[in-house]
Amino acid sequence: TARGQQQVLNKVIIPVAGLGTRVLPASKAIPKEMLTVVDKPVIQHVVEEAITAGFTRIVLVTRSGKSAIEDHFDRNAELEQVLADKGKDTLLAAVRDILPTGVQVISVRQDEAKGLGHAVLCAAALTGDEDFAVMLPDMLIDPQGDQSDMQQMADAYRRSGKGQIMVEAVPEDQVERYGIVDCGGERPVSGQSAPMQDVVEKPSLADAPSNLAIVGRYILPGRIMELLKTTPRGAGNEIQLTDAIKALLQQGGALEAFTMSGVLYDCGNKSGLLMANVALGLKHPETAAELKGFIEGL
C-alpha cells in the first residue's frame, strides 16, 4: 500500500498463554516462558530482542497461572532494597533495569486456547489499525553479527513499507513441521527479503513450495486483525495466523519473507532449552570458562 507517511512500528505482541506441555514437568507450576537460559528467563531474552529492535510497547497475551511473567517485568521494591543495603550494585542494576525507561509491558488475557491467530487477535484493541510485530517466546535467536535479525527485519519493513515474515531454510525432512513460504522459487540470502506469494501450513515434502520455514517472528500490517476476525478454525481446530496471512496474500496484500542469519533455539522443548543454555553459557562472561572446561572434560 502506498502510504504517504511511514507508520510508527512500536508494538509487539508476545503470546505467552501456552501450556508448555513439551517441557513438563518443569512447566507444571512455572510458566514455560520463565524457564531460564543461563541467568535470565527465556521471556526476558525475547523481550530484550524486541527492545533492541526498537519496540517500546510489549503486549503479553496471557492467561491465569502466568502472573510470574508479569511480576518478572514489575519492580520488586523489597528485593531492590535488600540488594542496595548489601551494596550489591551489579545485581541491583540487573534486577532494576529489566525494562529500560520508556518501555511498557501491557498484559491482555486470552480466555481460551484457540490458537496463535486467536492470541494475536486478543491484542486487537491495543494495536488498532497500526502495523505490529509478533514474536513467539519459545524461539530464542542468538545473533551472529552486530545487529539482531529482528533489528534487520524492522529495518527492511521501514525501507519497503511491507510486512515481513522471518524464515529459515530447514532440512527437507522437517518441512512438514512448519509453515512454509512460497517466494516463487526466489531464495533470499541471509539478512535479505524476497516477495512472498503464498504460505502452506505443514505441507508434505511433495507439496512444499520451498524449505523456507516461518520461525516465529512477524511484522504484520494492521489489516491482518480484520482478517483474523473472520478466519475460520483451521489445523488443530484453532484459529491459525498462517491462514490469515494466506488470506492477506490472496487479497493482494504485499508481504516479504526475511531470511534470518542468527542461530535459532526452540526453548519450548527440552533439547532446544538445553542447547540454548550451553550455547549462551559458553558466551556468558561468568560461566564461559567453567562450562567450557566441564564440556571438554566429559
DSSP result, 112-164:
S---HHHHHHTTHHHHTTS-EEEE-TTEEEE-SSSS-HHHHHHHHHHHH-SEE
The predicted structure's pLDDT at residue 115: 87
The predicted structure's pLDDT at residue 109: 92
Contact 31, 14 (CB under 8 A): no
The predicted structure's pLDDT at residue 2: 45
Query: Any bridge partners for residue 266, and if so which?
Result: 139
* Rg for the chain, CA atoms, rounded: 20
The predicted structure's pLDDT at residue 224: 95
**Distance from C-alpha of 26 to C-alpha of 24, rounded to nearest angstrom:** 5
Per-residue pLDDT tens digits of the chain, which is 298 residues long? 444 445 789 999 999 998 888 999 999 999 999 999 999 999 999 999 999 999 999 999 999 888 999 999 998 999 999 999 999 998 998 888 888 889 999 999 998 878 899 999 999 999 999 999 999 999 999 998 889 999 999 999 999 999 999 999 999 989 998 999 999 888 888 889 999 999 988 888 898 999 999 999 999 999 999 999 998 888 788 888 999 999 999 998 899 999 999 999 999 999 999 999 999 999 999 999 999 999 999 9
Over residues 188-244, the pLDDT tens digits come to 888 899 999 999 888 888 989 999 999 999 999 999 999 999 988 887 888 889 999
Contact 62, 119 (CB under 8 A): no
All residues at 6 or more sequence positions from 290 whose CB lies less than 8 Å from its CB, including other chains? none
Contact 220, 131 (CB under 8 A): yes
All residues at 6 or more sequence positions from 225 whose CB lies less than 8 Å from its CB, including other chains? 120, 121, 124, 127, 129
The predicted structure's pLDDT at residue 98: 87
Among 256, 253, 245, smallest CA distance to 201 is for 245
The predicted structure's pLDDT at residue 289: 97
The predicted structure's pLDDT at residue 111: 86
Cell of 102: 520508556
**Distance from C-alpha of 171 to C-alpha of 212, rounded to nearest angstrom:** 9
Using the 8-state DSSP alphabet, how is residue 258 labeled? E
DSSP-derived pairing of the beta strands 179-182 and 198-201: antiparallel
The predicted structure's pLDDT at residue 35: 95
pTM of the model: 0.93
**Distance from C-alpha of 5 to C-alpha of 130, rounded to nearest angstrom:** 12
Contact 258, 181 (CB under 8 A): no
**Distance from C-alpha of 254 to C-alpha of 152, rounded to nearest angstrom:** 18
Max Cα separation, the chain?
64
**Distance from C-alpha of 245 to C-alpha of 197, rounded to nearest angstrom:** 11
The one-letter amino acid code at 24 reads: L
**Distance from C-alpha of 145 to C-alpha of 189, rounded to nearest angstrom:** 15
72 phi-psi bin (left φ>0, alpha ψ -120 to 50, beta other): alpha
The CA-atom distances, in angstroms, between 49 and each of 42, 189, 209 are 11, 22, 30
All residues at 6 or more sequence positions from 164 whose CB lies less than 8 Å from its CB, including other chains? 153, 154, 156, 157, 193, 218, 219, 255, 256, 257, 258
The predicted structure's pLDDT at residue 279: 97
